[in-house]
A and B are shown apart, each in its own frame.
Chain A
Amino acid sequence: MKPNKNRRLPSLLGVLFAIVLIAAACGGDDGDDGDASPTTAPAESTAPADDPPADDPPADDPPADDPPADDPPADDDNTIRLGIMGECEGAFGGFHEDVVAGATLALINGAGATSTSADTALDGFSGASVAGVPIELVGIGCGDDTADRAIQEVRTLVEQDGANVVIGPLSGDEGIAIANYALDNPEVTFINGISGAQDSTLAVRAPNFFRFNGDGAQWNAGIGDILYNEGGWRTAAVIADDYGFGWTSAGGFVADFCAAGGQIVSQVFPPLGTTDYSSFVQQLPNPDEVDGYFWVIGGTGTNASLEAFLNAKGDLTGDQHAGNLFFSPALADALGTDIAGAYVGGFASLPGDITTPEIEAYLASADAAWDTLSGGLTGNEPGPPSTALGFGFAYGYYTAGLAFVQALEQVGGDMSNNQAALREALSNLELQAPYGPITLDENRQAIVDTFVAQLVLDEASGEIVQQTVAIIPGVDQTFGGTYSTETDPPERDNTACEPRDLPWQGNSIPVIDGVPQR
């Protein structure tokens, strides 16, 4: 450290420190008025490189970011600079291609865009415009399933690349972080991708954050009702991953099951990443003490936890088990076909067994837009684009993009006045999406149609497949008042268990052989 040479250093830097203090005071003032006008030319000599992630650099400057309230929108020229916030690393990193493709397909179908590449959406698109206003992709954010990274990425999209509309993000904690960021950045419009944390809309309520997909609780609406009334369950135990999505999914089941009259006798929350579930399964009641179990354990934990149950408590039977969307037909490979009959909660898109003309047209448009896509469902190997787009991740981003395009169309591409007209249109949109209509509530949260499926034994192949049994229409975020802006976000077992009237009770639409009986 060459310490003996530094005797004069403290005094030297002391003087500098004084200068800093003065400069800080001035700098603060500079910040107040200096940013009222859009700043300098793009050539910032201080930045080592200025290339935004997308191929085409933004025509304009990033909008100034401090005191945003009195910041005139830098985009009165009606240029739309779109950022897509994906997740290229972390738990859902494999779905990066899927979600970017979802948003891109909306622009291809609704705004005349052309994908740059025939086998990936990640290279961007060109030629998009709505009502004569060009839409330019300025960047694709690369999240890693953490909120911190989401903030960094979205700030790069907005503050460096100059995005004025952002579609995304993918997962729950990211969604809350970005909704909070939206509060501080009212000049940008955010349309959620597929993240499903309840807080993002119900608690944060940023006026410029819109979500056209359900939250984790909404996706499990209807299943409790069916289990109570058709499965004959009166009591249930819940085992769920100990984090936001686990709590929210479990909360949706609890709210729905209790509304129908059921009782929750036990809730167990193993930490994420648990490998040995035996001690958690031990805490569950025995099969003769409870009518059934609801599982919300994702990833590699799904099989591990069910196997622990097999070892500790005996058979897994379809009439005593149900789960959220993690409860997939693949389980039967390891656990046997006794699981047939189990009910499974919904997700953003509908299972593949449902076909309607709208769905077929949507999937066909995906196959027309690309030759192949290396999405998450095909293990990031090239596969049919419709496989990726038929799954909820891509579909969530598709509905976001579609809502944006349709709202923009309605207002004739008017982005002026802090995008006021666009936001008004988004809030009131009746989105005719391929898997069902979507409208928003007063918190800009989607009211969606979700579904309940069942694992059934396919007689022909002898394999367990997923079959949709009902569509639950008009599911809103509040579960008839169980959740409100006053309640805490779902957390472990804080969802109140009370009988209630839910708007969708008794309105479920049966699905027979893949055809909804509307």
Chain B
Amino acid sequence: MISLSARNVAVALTCVALILLPAFGSDFFVDFVATRTLMLGLAASTMVFLSAYGGMVSLAQWLIFGVAGFAVGNVVAESGRGLNLGWGPWTGVFIALVAATLLALLLGILSARSTGIYFLMLTLTYAVVGFFFFGQVTTFSGFGGITGIDPPGFFDDRPKRLYYAALVLSMLAYVGFRAIARTPFGLALQGVRDDPVRMSSLGFNVQLHRTLAFTLAGFVAGLAGVLNIWWNGQIDPTSISIGPTLDLLIIAVIGGISHLEGAWLGAFVFIGANIYLRDIPFLGSIEGLLEERLLAEERFNTVIGLLLLLIMLASPDGLAGIIARIEHGIRLAFRRSNPEGDGSSLRTNGQ
């Protein structure tokens, strides 16, 4: 029995390429594009995990990601705003992960009864509340935010190490989330996604499942938040405002919110578009057509908007969905020419 499906082979090859990347990629590409892709992909993967396996589209993931960053800032920084505890960076990591996980547990308990659009709105509300919380409560931040946060010495000024940390955590999260899908917990979570009423009548505590999944995702979002604060060196309430919150949703949707690898794919496209598309000449001509000088950022938002629209029209489940369909096509062709096949049947995702 061969489980080397095209999907797994592609993922594995990508991993090899990513491991080797620092050897041939420019410093800028590794540090600025690839590391951020992995960090944002990691954060987005928690959103995809909750959505694909749990049927919960959560807009609170970015908040939890940010809370981990604020926690690191408060614990590690020695001066400036916040608590200024000045403790060691690894203590900061520990406290940040505990804070992110506990927050996720709390939010999970509060929102486990809601589903669909109500869940989305509720988690959006948390995001907004979080923004104002850190803006108003100067004990922890205030609008000015916390600046000058240094990573532990092991990572300080060593972007490649941070890159590998992001890569390792991303791979662990990817493998871990996919492995969880096969465990009793993961199967039950997918059951909750597909039919909570039936799950309940089969004896499952649906809300407990949702809460635990949300907590787990929160922990991973916290990991991403810690990496991000090391990369970024500062955090302030606008870091977790509604704009970046929605950016994470866009990343997940571009990549495909029902495929885990879509999280990283979406992050790559989003970051790549931000960096490389804003100056392509073609956009200059759109500018001409509009007879107005579009500022670079508006241009970027236009491009991302168009990209999102195109991808959604071509494939409601994002780029990863397109790839899955190509794989499906190849396999069908293969099976037709070889009726034995490999015994594994094709199926589309239940989402």
B residues in contact with A147, CB < 8 Å: 145, 147, 234, 236, 238-239
Which one of B79, B238, B272, B344 has the highest number of Cβ atoms from chain A below 10 Å of its Cβ? B238
Complex: A28 Cα to B167 Cα, angstroms: 13
**B347 at the A/B interface (Cβ < 8 Å)?**
yes
Complex: A122 Cα to B16 Cα, angstroms: 42
Q: Are A46 and B29 interface neighbours, CB within 8 A? A: yes
Q: Are A156 and B32 interface neighbours, CB within 8 A? A: yes
Interface residues of A in 229-255 (CB under 8 A from B): 242-244, 247
**B286 at the A/B interface (Cβ < 8 Å)?**
no
Interface residues of A in 8-63 (CB under 8 A from B): 8-10, 12-14, 16-17, 19-21, 23-24, 27-28, 30-32, 35, 39-40, 44-49, 51-53, 62
Interface stretch (choices A128-136, A178-186, A363-371):
A178-186
- Chain B interface, >50% SS class: helix
A residues in contact with B20, CB < 8 Å: 23
Q: Are B157 and A13 interface neighbours, CB within 8 A? A: no
Binary contact track A187-226/B, C-beta < 8 Å → 1, others 0: 0000000000101000110000000000000000000000
A residues in contact with B179, CB < 8 Å: 6, 9-10
A51 closest partner in B (C-beta) = B279
Interface stretch (choices A64-72, A75-83, A325-333, A446-454):
A64-72
B residues in contact with A155, CB < 8 Å: 32
Partner of B175, one of A1, A13, A181, A489: A13
**A177 at the A/B interface (Cβ < 8 Å)?**
yes
Interface stretch (choices B1-9, B92-100, B110-118):
B1-9
A272 closest partner in B (C-beta) = B143
Q: Are B238 and A146 interface neighbours, CB within 8 A? A: yes
**A308 at the A/B interface (Cβ < 8 Å)?**
no
A residues in contact with B148, CB < 8 Å: 180, 183, 204
Complex: A243 Cα to B138 Cα, angstroms: 10
Interface residues of B in 247-274 (CB under 8 A from A): 258-260, 272, 274
Partner of B167, one of A6, A20, A66, A244: A20
Interface stretch (choices A88-96, A285-293, A400-408):
A88-96
**B163 at the A/B interface (Cβ < 8 Å)?**
yes
Complex: A151 Cα to B232 Cα, angstroms: 7
Q: Are B80 and A199 interface neighbours, CB within 8 A? A: yes
A residues in contact with B279, CB < 8 Å: 51-53
A residues in contact with B259, CB < 8 Å: 1
Binary contact track B147-181/A, C-beta < 8 Å → 1, others 0: 11000001001111101110110011011001101
Q: Are B144 and A176 interface neighbours, CB within 8 A? A: yes
User: In angstroms, how far is the closest chain B Cβ from the Cβ of A240?
Assistant: 12
**B25 at the A/B interface (Cβ < 8 Å)?**
yes
Complex: A486 Cα to B274 Cα, angstroms: 40
Q: Are A180 and B147 interface neighbours, CB within 8 A? A: yes
Complex: A115 Cα to B147 Cα, angstroms: 36
A residues in contact with B144, CB < 8 Å: 172-173, 176, 197, 199, 243-244, 247, 489, 491
User: In angstroms, how far is the closest chain A Cβ from the Cβ of B112?
Assistant: 22
Partner of A66, one of B81, B143, B158, B190: B158
Known: A46-B25, A151-B234. A9 touches B8 (CB 8 A): yes
Partner of B32, one of A27, A159, A488: A159
**B135 at the A/B interface (Cβ < 8 Å)?**
yes
**A513 at the A/B interface (Cβ < 8 Å)?**
no
Complex: A51 Cα to B167 Cα, angstroms: 27
Q: Are A2 and B53 interface neighbours, CB within 8 A? A: no
Q: Are B157 and A66 interface neighbours, CB within 8 A? A: yes
Complex: A151 Cα to B296 Cα, angstroms: 17
A24 closest partner in B (C-beta) = B164
Complex: A120 Cα to B142 Cα, angstroms: 37
**A374 at the A/B interface (Cβ < 8 Å)?**
yes
B238 closest partner in A (C-beta) = A146
Q: Are B157 and A184 interface neighbours, CB within 8 A? A: yes
**A271 at the A/B interface (Cβ < 8 Å)?**
yes
A residues in contact with B15, CB < 8 Å: 13, 16, 20
Complex: A27 Cα to B158 Cα, angstroms: 10
Q: Are A24 and B79 interface neighbours, CB within 8 A? A: no
**A492 at the A/B interface (Cβ < 8 Å)?**
yes
**A3 at the A/B interface (Cβ < 8 Å)?**
yes
**A461 at the A/B interface (Cβ < 8 Å)?**
no
A residues in contact with B4, CB < 8 Å: 8, 12
Complex: A271 Cα to B131 Cα, angstroms: 12
Complex: A374 Cα to B347 Cα, angstroms: 56
Q: Are B164 and A27 interface neighbours, CB within 8 A? A: yes
Q: Are B26 and A491 interface neighbours, CB within 8 A? A: no
B34 closest partner in A (C-beta) = A46
- The count of chain B contact residues (Cβ–Cβ below 8 Å) is 87
Which one of B7, B24, B53, B297 has the highest number of Cβ atoms from chain A below 10 Å of its Cβ? B297
Complex: A102 Cα to B147 Cα, angstroms: 28
Complex: A46 Cα to B159 Cα, angstroms: 17
Binary contact track A145-157/B, C-beta < 8 Å → 1, others 0: 1111001100110
B residues in contact with A48, CB < 8 Å: 272, 276
A residues in contact with B195, CB < 8 Å: none
Complex: A147 Cα to B171 Cα, angstroms: 29
**B56 at the A/B interface (Cβ < 8 Å)?**
no
Complex: A374 Cα to B157 Cα, angstroms: 41
Q: Are A8 and B138 interface neighbours, CB within 8 A? A: no
**A144 at the A/B interface (Cβ < 8 Å)?**
yes
Complex: A492 Cα to B15 Cα, angstroms: 49
B residues in contact with A177, CB < 8 Å: 147, 233-234
Q: Are B19 and A46 interface neighbours, CB within 8 A? A: no
Q: Are B234 and A144 interface neighbours, CB within 8 A? A: no
Q: Are B236 and A49 interface neighbours, CB within 8 A? A: no
**B22 at the A/B interface (Cβ < 8 Å)?**
yes
B324 closest partner in A (C-beta) = A2
Partner of A7, one of B159, B175, B182, B349: B182
**A5 at the A/B interface (Cβ < 8 Å)?**
yes
Binary contact track B306-335/A, C-beta < 8 Å → 1, others 0: 000000000000000000000000000000
User: In angstroms, how far is the closest chain A Cβ from the Cβ of B73?
Assistant: 12
**B198 at the A/B interface (Cβ < 8 Å)?**
no
Q: Are B28 and A32 interface neighbours, CB within 8 A? A: no
Q: Are B275 and A156 interface neighbours, CB within 8 A? A: yes
Complex: A6 Cα to B77 Cα, angstroms: 43
Partner of B80, one of A10, A30, A203, A243: A203
User: In angstroms, how far is the closest chain A Cβ from the Cβ of B174?
Assistant: 7
User: In angstroms, how far is the closest chain B Cβ from the Cβ of A441?
Assistant: 20
Q: Are B293 and A120 interface neighbours, CB within 8 A? A: yes
12 pairs, A vs B, C-beta closer than 8 Å: A1-B349, A6-B179, A7-B182, A47-B276, A48-B272, A142-B278, A148-B234, A159-B28, A173-B144, A176-B144, A183-B148, A184-B157
Give A residues with C-beta under 8 Å from B: 1-10, 12-14, 16-17, 19-21, 23-24, 27-28, 30-32, 35, 39-40, 44-49, 51-53, 62, 64-69, 88-89, 93, 96, 120, 122, 140, 142, 144-148, 151-152, 155-156, 159-160, 172-173, 176-177, 180-181, 183-184, 197, 199, 203-204, 242-244, 247, 271-272, 374, 488-489, 491-492
